[in-house]
Amino acid sequence: MKEVILVTKRLISFLSFLLVFFTFASLTVAAETGTASQEWVNLRILETTDIHADLMNYDYYQTKVDNRIGLVKTATLIREERKKSKNTLLFDDGDHLKGNPLGEYLARIRGMNKGKTHPVYRAFNYLKYDAIAIGNHEFNYGLGFLRTALKGAKMPVLNANVYSVKKNKPYFKPYTILKRNVIDESGESHVLNIGVLALMPTHIMKWDKANLEGKVFAKPMLETAKELVPIIKAQGADIIIALAHTGISSEPYHSDTENAVYYLTQIPEIDVVLAGHSHSVFPGQVYQGLPHTDLKSGLINGKPVVMASAFGSRLGIIDLKLGHRTGRWQIESKKSYTKPIADENGKSLVKTDKGLYKLVKEEHEEMVDFIKKLGL
C-alpha cells in the first residue's frame, strides 16, 4: 500500500512538473510572437486628395447638382469607416483650395475676411483631419493668401521639400509625429507614434514662378525624404506615413521627377504612401503593368499605397494590422483600396453629410447667386 501511495505521489509530482513546464514554454513562445498580451492593433488610414474646392456635390459650370463629386458626400464615407474601426487616421493629400469657381470666387473676389476661416479648412476642422499636405495648386493664389487661409487650419499642415529663400529652412512644417491612443484586440490601450511627412513636385517653381520666385525654392522629393525619415525614426516614430502629392510612375527617377511615389516606396523607413496629384485611382487597372505591384492588395514594392482620384469622388483606405514584437510595432498585414461616392452612372451611393452641408452652405449659396447675377 505504501508503495502505491509513493508511486501516486511521484506521478502527481511529475504531472505537475509537466504542467508547469509546458505552461511556461507556451507563454515564452507567445511572448516571442507578440500574442501573449494580444497586442494586435488594427489601424485604418483614410485619405482624401485633390479636392479642388469641391466641397459641395454641385457643378458650378453647369449650375446643377452632381453626386459624383463633393466632400459633403465623402464625409459620409469617412464617418462610416470610422464606425467600423476602433483606430482611424484621416489625411488630405493636397490641392484642396483651387480648382472650381467656388475656389476662384473665395480667393479673387470675396477674399479672406479677418477672423473668418476658409470653408475648406472649416470642413477639415469639422471632420477632424489628423494632418494635411500642401499641394502645388495651393500656391496659385500667392503665398500671402495661402498664409492667411492656413491660419484657420487646426491640424498640422505639412510640406518638407519647399524651402524659404530668406531662411534656407522649410517654409512649412516638414513633418509631425502624431501620438495616438490605439486599442488592441483585447481592449488594452497603447500609445502609437505615427510619423507623417509631406512632399510635392519641384515643378512648382515653373508652374507658379510669378508667385514663388525669390521667395521659396523646392528640393527633390526623394532626397528630402531620405534625409528626413531617419530623423523622424530617431524621434520615436513607430511607423512613417508619406503624404505624397505626386503620382505613380516607374520611369527612371531624376531630381525633377514629377511622379515619384514608386521610388518613395523603396525607402525602407517609409511604411505607407498616400498618393495624389495625378487624379488617378490606386489600386486600379491603369497600373496593371507597374513593376513589383500587387493590385489585389494595393502594394507597390511591398508598401501599401492609395490614391483616391479627385474632387471627393472617392475615399482612400489603407488597413494595417500591427503586432508588437521584440519591443516595437511591426506591420503584419496591409491592404489598400478606395470607395466611390457614386456608381458609374453618377447615382449617389451615400447620403449628404448634413452637418458639413450646413457648415459650407453660406459660401456655396453666395457662389450660386454670383453666377446668376453674371447671367451664366
C-alpha span between 129 and 124 (Å, rounded): 6
Which tens digit of pLDDT belongs to each residue from 73-107? 999 999 999 999 999 999 999 999 999 999 999 99
User: CATH homologous superfamily of domain 39-374?
Assistant: Metallo-dependent phosphatases (3.60.21.10)
Q: Give 238-281 pLDDT, tens digit per residue.
A: 999 999 999 999 999 999 999 999 999 999 999 999 999 999 99
pLDDT confidence of 10, banded at 50, 70, 90? low
Distance CA 16, CA 11 (A): 8
Report which of 9, 64, 157, 71 is spatially closest to residue 355, judged by C-alpha positions: 71
Cβ-based neighbour number of residue 187 at 10 Å: 8
Q: Kindly state the DSSP code that residue 96 receives in the 8-state scheme.
A: -
Mean pLDDT of 134-155: 97
- Gap between the Cα atoms of 349 and 50, Å rounded: 20
- Which distant-in-sequence residues (6+ apart) come within 8 Å of 360 by Cβ? 55, 56, 72, 119, 122, 123
* Domain ranges, ordered by start, for the chain: 39-374
What is the tens place of the pLDDT at every residue in 200-214? 999 999 999 999 999
Q: Is the pLDDT of residue 27 over 50?
A: no
Q: Which three cell numbers stand for residue 209?
A: 514662378
Model pTM?
A: 0.90
